[in-house]
Structure 1
Amino acid sequence: MGRILALVAVPFVVLIAATLLAIALVRLVGDWRLGIDPFTPTLQRPRLPLAELAARGVVTDALRQGLMALLVVALAAWACRGAGPGAVWARLGFAAPAIPRASTRRLLWLLPLWPLIHIAWVTATAAALQVNFAQGVRISPFLSPSMVALWFAFVILLAPVAEELLLRGEVYARASRFLGPAATIVTTALIFCLAHIGLEPAPRNANAFHALARPLTLLPLALTLGWLRWRTGRLWPCMLLHAWSNLALVVYQIGPGLR
């Protein structure tokens, strides 16, 4: 039980640490840029423009992913200290597995099918829980074009890379040391889903099931990513499918709003 608790604690500690660091850095740099003392008491701080607040939110999200990736690599390096950099990349799933696995080319058939599978599951889950999920999504009008580009980079590139490094990289390596393949896949999938609870604010009219909608919609993706990690022995197929899934869902969510 102790090893399971430690396994669950690692990703949440990394996520919390990266989030707090990102918030602090964005506030320090942003305030310095505007000539504000970042240590000014909250009640005495000047009210920031909406465009500034929106931009800080996007930069914080993007920076958090970068810090997460750095922390994961540092954790892997600590776990492999004395073994050389090759051991770090092997631990994280970047090196070819010692035992040949399934050809990654044979798994490319999953890419054209996945958006249909994922969007169908998201839509069905939202309907079953009676939540307004994946509908009426809009990009903030207060974001500049550069911030919109950064937001897309965060969703489609930074988040898949950082989250896969953490879950199917370091956490998978730790879990596979004392769990079987099926248990490792399920454990990393559950942690992945739980980590997404509360990352997005609930709308005012949200019902009691809204908090469950996000993790439930991610469950098939999380299980598939774990299966890919086990089946191929590599991390990049997980990053590729995760990025493709995010892109498909974003297009589905914001597409109607662009018409």
Structure 2
Amino acid sequence: MSHAIDFPTPATQPPPRWWEALALIAIYFLLQVAVGTLVGRSILAIDNLMLDSGSTGLAPALRLPTVVVVTLTLATAMIMALVRWRWSAWLDGSRLPGLGFVRASDRFLVTAAGLGFVVPIVGGILTGWLAHGQDLGQTITEIGRGTPFGARVVLLLVVVSVGPLVEETLFRGVFLGALSRHMSSAFAITASALLFAVVHLPDLHGAAYALPNLFLLGWVCGWLRVRSGSIWPAVLAHGANNLIAAGAWFVVTHQP
């Protein structure tokens, strides 16, 4: 005898709450540290075993990119599974506090792609003006130096797809949805963009003059999420932005 499965509905499953959203964002970054440490130690252990047996281990230039790709992929998979489990009834909600996992119109996808290429240019000009000639070192740039061409291709694909997916789910999905329950969409977009900018400062070695650039990207992605009713334009804009940023070091630092 079969039994019907009762899927959660908005009436039985509460939408994201602000403290849950903040906790999930913290979990994501802690996962990166924990998984990255585990993956890094595993690679070293495997390399040592291979060297002891007379085999060649993983090339040193491939170790850090491998750790980054595996870590980001695993952390993203765990976070997305957690979001699906916790807020499955709100995934396809186009209006806040829904998470916006619905198809976007072609008009907004084209707009998102255009904004994704324009924002890093405008943000770069703004950052250069605020930096007053200081060098803006980024973690992704440092990872790119000395990395073989093939590994850079894989790293680039992850940076423009996996990274934007999980970050937009967290900031423009869960967090923006949670904030929308307590404030207007405009304030929620602004608050989400501000937190997005602040949590990325470690990747920029704490360079505060990069905050406006990060804030601009976060605000544009939030605006796209609200106006389109879908999270996919925000993911696309974020990915295009990362393509410009990562593509720059990909070309400049490549050594045949």
TM-score class, shorter-chain normalisation, is 0.7 to 0.9
Residue identity (%):
23
How far does residue 149 in structure 1 lie from its aligned partner after superposition? 1.9
Contact 1:22 1:67 in 2 (8 A): no
Local SS of the residue matching 2:203: coil
1:86 Cα deviation from its structure 2 partner: 5.7
Q: Would you say 1:15 and 2:26 are equivalent positions?
A: no
Name the CA distance, whole Å, in 1 between partners of 2:68 and 2:177: 26
| 1: CA distance, partners of 2:167 / 2:115 | 22
- Give the superposition deviation at 1:256: 4.8
Q: Which of 79, 84, 87 is the aligned partner of 2:86?
A: 79
Correspondence list, 1:1-259, <5 A:
7-35=21-49, 51-52=59-60, 54-80=61-87, 85=88, 87-90=90-93, 91-95=98-102, 103-106=105-108, 108-112=110-114, 114-130=116-132, 131-133=134-136, 139-141=144-146, 143-200=147-204, 202=205, 211-256=207-252
Structure 1 residue 252: deviation in Å? 4.0
Relative to structure 1, is the Cα distance of residues 15 and 113 closer, same or farther in structure 2, using a 3 angstrom cutoff?
closer
CA distance in 2, matches of 1:68, 1:58: 15
How many residue pairs get aligned? The number is 225
SS at match of 1:35: helix
User: Do the aligned partners of residues 28 and 134 (structure 1) sit closer, same or farther apart at CA in structure 2, a change above 3 Å counting?
Assistant: closer
1:195-251 CA deviation, whole Å, 9 max, x = no partner?
A: 211125x4xxxxxxx621333321111100001111111111111111111112333
Post-superposition offset of 1:8: 3.2
1:115, CA displacement in angstroms?
A: 2.5
Q: What is the alpha-carbon root mean square deviation over aligned residues?
A: 3.2
1:63 and 1:120 map into 2 onto residues whose CA distance is: 32
Q: Which runs of 5+ in 2 are unaligned?
A: 1-16, 51-56
Shift of 1:169: 2.1
Conservation of the 8 A alpha-carbon contact between 2:100 and 2:173: yes
Distance in 2 of aligned mates of 1:215 and 1:248: 18
TM-score (normalizing by structure 2): 0.72
**How many angstroms does 1:255 deviate by?**
4.2
Matched to 1:121, the amino acid is G
Retained in 2: the 8 A contact 1:119–1:249? no
- On the 8 A contact 1:58/1:151 being kept in 2, the answer is yes
Q: Secondary structure at the match of 2:183?
A: coil
CA contact (8 A) 2:32 2:75 kept: yes
Relative to structure 1, the CA distance from residue 155 to residue 249 in structure 2 (aligned partners, 3 Å threshold; closer, same or farther) is: same
Asked if 1 retains the 8 angstrom alpha-carbon contact of 2:43 and 2:63, the reply is no
Runs (5+) with no aligned partner, structure 1: 37-48, 97-101, 203-209
